[in-house]
Chain A
Amino acid sequence: TQLLEQSPQFLSIQEGENLTVYCNSSSVFSSLQWYRQEPGEGPVLLVTVVTGGEVKKLKRLTFQFGDARKDSSLHITAAQPGDTGLYLCAGPSDSNYQLIWGAGTKLIIKP
């Protein structure tokens, strides 16, 4: 069974600090997607990583896919209150067309 574990579950930091959250699995994924979900809204896709070792940047957000395609990280530089939300990773199942979801990291950035 493919699982995605996200850590930490919860993170609260001050504005301007840097942070990294993780999405780990013992299984290989062909790709991983990162979503951000703000309170009262649905998840919104931030990025898809496909190639092992790939690094993608989205302004102050840096996403990395592990060389073995079993894990991914999201690093935020100089966090801002607008970065507050639930960060979810998801990857396609090997056996069907479903997306497997992590439980998310709830991030709060305090002004």
Chain B
Amino acid sequence: EAGVAQSPRYKIIEKRQSVAFWCNPISGHATLYWYQQILGQGPKLLIQFQNNGVVDDSQLPKDRFSAERLKGVDSTLKIQPAKLEDSAVYLCASSLANRGGRPPLHFGNGTRLTVT
């Protein structure tokens, strides 16, 4: 099966600019996650979708970050305006319907964002 696709792979922007990331999950996976991973740390969940509904966005900085999954398939994550501390790898993952956190996550290769 095709894996989780993410684009772009790398992005360099100046602070206060905007940026968008795209993710296409594995076909049939109802649950989609966006994670932020700062170098050398574990992933931090930003938002979790179940189909096209938001399950958890408690750690999403909503004043600058937004995400959507309009048709329940692919998703975009946007940052506007970017800050220096947003420099990180943004990982998209998908899984079968999440009941109790059991199903394994399948990750894309991420987008490495550098904010200068």
Contact = CB atoms under 8 A, between A and B. Distances in A.
Contacts of B101: 91-93, 97-99
Contacts, number: 60
B42 A97 contact: no
A42 to B, nearest CB: 3
A95 to B, nearest CB: 11
Main secondary structure of the interface of B (DSSP, over half): loop
A92 B41 CA distance: 18
Contacts of A40: 109-110
B108 interface: yes
Interface residues of A, number: 25
A43 B41 CA distance: 12
B40 A106 contact: yes
Interface stretch (B62-70, B80-88, B92-100): B92-100
Contact of A45 (B4, B99, B104, B108): B104
B: contact size bracket: 20 to 34
User: Which of B48, B101, B104, B110 has the most CB atoms of chain A within a 10 A radius of its CB?
Assistant: B101
Contact of B41 (A41, A93, A98, A104): A104
Given A48-B104, A96-B56, A42 B93 contact: yes
Given A42-B109, A97-B55, A98-B56, A31 B102 contact: yes
Interface in A40-98: 40-45, 48, 86, 88, 90-93, 96-98
B4 to A, nearest CB: 7
Interface of B: 4, 40-45, 48, 55-56, 91, 93, 98-102, 104-110
Minimum-distance CB pairs A-B, first 7: A92-B101, A42-B107, A101-B42, A45-B104, A103-B42, A97-B98, A41-B109
